[in-house]
């Protein structure tokens, strides 16, 4: 996106990572800083973004994987759900709506369970892989819910593939560049990329999402839970 001449604002978890990001992408217009495992710091990230915006597009790329035990954030929330689902929800609700929104899902979302009864894994025996799959399903649910509620905003979910990153691991088979192409295309492209909303994508092709993603009852249930946990409601229409 930078090489194509777009202005790009980055996000980093802390000041050290912000400096690393600036070195890696010196042409970036700025960096917002905050650990989105914290509701308070996520609010700060949104405030920083609003001071630098408005934006044409926001890509919700932050996430953690499934190779961890159940841990809780400082807010007392399960770590994977808090970062992968609650943070993009809260940022969506607080950042001035852009023209386009992109949420990072995963092919593993198809194994997700849309049951909202135990999102914090307090009743079930912990399963990191299932918790991750659930979170990626809920990211897709969020993308589709925003597409329905905000008809003026193009909102989509992307499966980047299993990519060789720190989270994906060295054995991941997919190409790193291909893993980022679709979200950049949805954020900046013309034609179909500029006009479609409420779709699930993999390598610039529409794919069938988990049927729960399009279920309005599931969408509204997830939004209600996230509103209760954050104290921030997603506006009905924009």
Catalytic residues: 132, 136
CA 44/CA 34 separation, integer angstroms: 7
Report which of 64, 112, 87, 132 is spatially closest to residue 226, judged by C-alpha positions. Answer: 87
5's CB contacts (< 8 A; 6+ apart) are none
Q: Which residue has the tokens 């700060």?
A: 44
Q: Which residue has the tokens 């841990």?
A: 71
CA 129/CA 103 separation, integer angstroms: 19
Q: Which long-range contacts (CB under 8 A, 24 or more apart) does 206-214 make?
A: 207/159, 209/105, 209/109, 209/140, 209/144, 209/157, 210/109, 210/110, 210/112, 210/114, 210/137, 210/140, 212/112, 212/114, 212/137, 212/141, 213/109, 213/137, 213/140, 213/141, 213/143, 213/144, 213/157, 214/144
CA 10/CA 179 separation, integer angstroms: 18
In DSSP terms, which residues pair with 208 in a beta bridge? none
Write out the two tokens for 170: 């060295």
Write out the two tokens for 224: 């209600």
Handedness of CA 11, 102, 219, 130 (dihedral sign): negative
């Amino acid at each position: 996106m930078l090489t194509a001449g777009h202005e790009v604002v980055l996000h980093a978890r802390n000041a050290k990572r912000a400096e690393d990001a600036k070195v890696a992408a010196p042409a970036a217009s700025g960096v917002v800083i905050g650990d989105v495992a914290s509701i308070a710091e996520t609010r700060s990230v949104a405030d920083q973004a609003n001071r630098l915006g408005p934006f044409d597009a926001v890509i919700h790329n932050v996430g953690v994987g499934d190779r961890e035990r159940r841990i809780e954030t400082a807010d007392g929330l399960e770590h994977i759900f808090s970062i992968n689902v609650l943070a993009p929800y809260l940022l969506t609700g607080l950042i001035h709506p852009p023209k386009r929104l992109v949420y990072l899902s995963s092919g593993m979302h198809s194994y997700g369970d849309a049951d909202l009864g135990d999102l914090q894994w307090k009743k079930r025996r912990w399963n990191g892989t299932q918790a991750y799959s659930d979170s990626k399903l809920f990211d897709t649910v969020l993308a589709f819910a925003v597409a329905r509620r905000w008809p003026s905003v193009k909102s989509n979910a992307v499966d980047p593939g299993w990519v060789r990153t720190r989270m994906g691991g060295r054995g991941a088979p997919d190409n790193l560049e291909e893993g980022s192409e679709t979200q950049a295309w949805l954020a900046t492209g013309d034609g179909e990329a500029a006009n479609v909303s409420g779709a699930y994508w993999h390598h610039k092709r529409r794919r069938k999402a988990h049927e729960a993603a399009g279920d309005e009852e599931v969408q509204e249930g997830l939004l209600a839970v996230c509103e209760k946990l954050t104290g921030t409601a997603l506006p009905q229409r924009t």
